[in-house]
Amino acid sequence: MVRQEFIVVGCVPVVVGSAICIVGYNKAQPTATDSAISFLERLSGEEAPAELKTDKSGGYALIGGGLLCLAAGIGFILKSRTGLTATNEHDKEDSG
């Protein structure tokens, strides 16, 4: 027997976690400015100041949060199939 409420509750974090991972991935990608700075660094052989580079820690944090949300949703879905016990006296008599 599958518990439907765990499947429904599990699907929401899976969808939300996937969306958060996609947004985080897009934020972690290099921008046109980053590509231009990288090109100029290779051309000149000097390191550019840190202020010119885009901070990607927010994107990585979103990816991490999305993965946690995704794992929680998968956990709920897997829990819907396990841990089922008899809930009333009639079920206990039939199973035992």
Write down the pLDDT at residue 63: 96
What's the start-to-end Cα distance of the chain, in Å?
17
pLDDT of 87 above 60:
no
pTM of the full structure: 0.71
What pLDDT sits at residue 91? Answer: 52
Which stretches within 29-88 are classed as H helix?
A: 32-44, 57-79
- CA 4/CA 8 separation, integer angstroms: 6
Residue 96 to residue 84: CA distance in whole angstroms: 15
Residue 72 confidence (pLDDT): 93
Q: What residue segments make up the domains of the chain, in order of their start?
A: 4-84
